[in-house]
Amino acid sequence: MQDFFYMGGYGLYVWGSYAVAAIVLISNIVLPKFQHKAMLKKLTKKLQRAEKLR
Amino acid sequence: MNQSSLINVFVALVKRDLLLALRHRAELFNPLMFFVLVVTLFPLGTGADSKLLQTMAPGIIWVAALLAAMLSLDAIFRSDFEDGSLELLLLNPHPTSMLVLAKVFAHWLVTGLPLIIVAPLLAVFLGLDSSLTGLLLITLLLGTPVLSLTGAVAIALTVGLKRGGILLSLLVLPFYVPVLIFSTNAIEMAASGLPVMAQLWILASLLILAITLTPWPTAAALKLSLS
Amino acid sequence: MMKFIHKTASPPYFYKLAGLWQPWLAAITVLLLLAGLYGGLIYAPTDYQQGESYRIIYIHVPAAWMSLFIYVVMAVTAAIGLIWRIKLAESVTVCSAPIGAGFTLLALVTGSLWGKPMWGAWWVWDARLTSELILLFLYAGVMSLYAAISDKRVAGRAVAILALVGVVNIPIIHYSVEWWNTLHQGPTVTKFDKPSIDFRMLVPLLIMALAFKVYYVWSLFMRLRVELLDRERNTQWVKSLLMDNKE
């Protein structure tokens, strides 16, 4: 188990790489999710305002 | 019907652009001055160690030429865009890509050619071996038109933007890199007495590729920028 | 065939389709990633030359492959969008750029993290890393150009032209950087490609490559839905969608 984390001395580099990968992969899913929610909210507001003006 | 042939229109357009450029001589001078200044700064910045300068000379001259070319790109379409003559150009019955080629050619005559003429002086500044100056000029002759042609695509895409300056450099850099690599490599190899025909053929093919492939996207981008 | 394409490319239909596919794409991606990670970190044996540090390959290589693959997809959809005026194709070009840029960045960072223990330096002007760096500039150019043009329909077409011109440039850049690098080669270059790669090392690599591809589709579909809402905001289908959402 120790060896797994230690990675023959290269632990920092190997786990660092996998960590950066996790960050990139997760953000490219989480960001669009937020954008989607925000877009729906924004467009709904605009629609409501347009309706009111009618 | 008095329909001008494509050749006549091409030549007329080149003449017109040259005339306009001549009337704004100061504008032409800027990229050239920039070229000279950048090259002059290098010895001042890195110490006048002649061996070092000599080794780096091809790279310095070429990078300075790239930067000067980048600076000059705005001039290809900017004034025509602003006074409306670009729209008229697009309305011309002749294929826009050919007219674009005429403008880029005129631009090169006015910005690229001066760089080539001044380059031997700069080669002396950096202590480049005089036997290599001829090769330097050949690479510049083959390469600077590519800089103008590929730069034209980028400036056509950004001419409608208010602050397209930095974006322009970003767009144009990937096109400039191969020209830079093969040109400087040719000169460095020649300095070691190695053959350079391969690099020159590659530069020539890049030039032909640029002449044939860039006018269409440039024309398309201009139409887009004017919409 | 054309009917199928027209149906799928119609924004309201695609919006719904992408939404339905999402959980499946997510599940497949996660499964493949877990399999790939297990394969790469546990199953694959230690490399006799590089020890454990080679395991970075399971991120670095698939990321680099994706960075190129996505750019090619961008160019193809750009051509389709320009020739047949299919809006969805244009949107794929635009939405793929940030994902491609992310993979390119990942390839560069992991390349750097691999280079440090192997070559002793955080950055080396290795042919592949240098080409990746220029590819990052190509992606940055596409994203910046799209952001700079306010009329998004014009922006989409401008970016399509840029992507097409860029794709022609990619083999040229790659070749020129290879040329440049072989003549400036550093004293120690440990390349991973042995003549025959151990099967136990190859399989996780392929699984990770596949995982990244499915992930790309997942992320792309999510971004496309946002983009479609934005571009089609004034259409009937978006308006009725928003109404339904409120209830």
CB C204 within 8 A of CB C40: yes
Q: Say what the pLDDT of residue C186 is.
A: 42
> Which alpha helices (DSSP H) does chain B contain, by range?
6-23, 25-46, 50-72, 74-83, 85-91, 96-125, 130-158, 165-191, 197-213, 215-226
Query: Can you give the length of chain A in residues?
Result: 54
> Which is nearest to B157 in space by CA: C171, C160, C77?
C160
pLDDT by residue (tens digit) across B99-125? 999 999 999 999 999 999 999 999 998
Query: Residue ranges of the alpha helices (H) in A1-54?
Result: 2-6, 11-53
Residue C176, min C-alpha distance to chain B (Å): 5
Residue extents of the structural domains in chain C: 54-186+196-236
Query: Which chain A residue lies closest to C247 (C-alpha atoms)?
Result: A44
**Closest residue of chain C to B202, computed from CA coordinates:** C176
Gyration radius of chain B's alpha carbons = 18
Out of B51-60, B136-145, C42-51, which region has the weakest mean confidence (pLDDT)?
A: C42-51
- Which pLDDT score, from 0 to 100, does residue A5 have? 75
Provide the residue type at C29 as one letter.
Answer: T
Query: For residue C187, is pLDDT > 50?
Result: no
CB contact under 8 A, C105 and A24: yes
Report the distance separating Cα B24 and Cα B22, nearest Å: 5
**Best interface-test mutation with C: which of A6, A7, A13 has the largest number of C CBs within 10 A?**
A13
Q: Kindly list the residues from chain A whose CB atom is less than 8 angstroms away from the CB atom of residue C246.
A: 44
CB C55 within 8 A of CB C44: yes
Residues 1-54 of A with CB under 8 A from C: 4, 7-10, 13-14, 16-18, 20-21, 24-25, 27-29, 32-33, 35-36, 39-40, 43-44, 46-47
Nearest partner of B201 among B183, B189, B226, judged by Cα: B183
Distance CA C220, CA C227 (A): 10
Residue C200 and residue C42 in contact, taking contact as beta carbons nearer than 8 Å:
no
Mean of pLDDT values over B135-142: 96
Q: Which residues of C touch B221 (CB under 8 A)?
A: 158, 161
C145/B157 Cβ within 8 A: yes
pLDDT tier at A12 (50, 70, 90 boundaries)? confident
CA dist., res. C152 & res. B42, Å (int): 43
Surface-to-core class of residue B186, CB atoms within 10 Å of its CB (0-12 exposed, 13-18 middle, 19+ buried):
buried
C119-144: per-residue pLDDT in tens? 788 887 878 888 999 999 999 999 99
With residue C91 as reference, give the H or E element that holds it.
helix C87-119
SS3 A17: helix
Q: Do C222 and A13 touch (CB under 8 A)?
A: no
A near C: at least 3 beta-carbon pairs less than 8 Å apart: yes
What was the pLDDT predicted at C1?
74
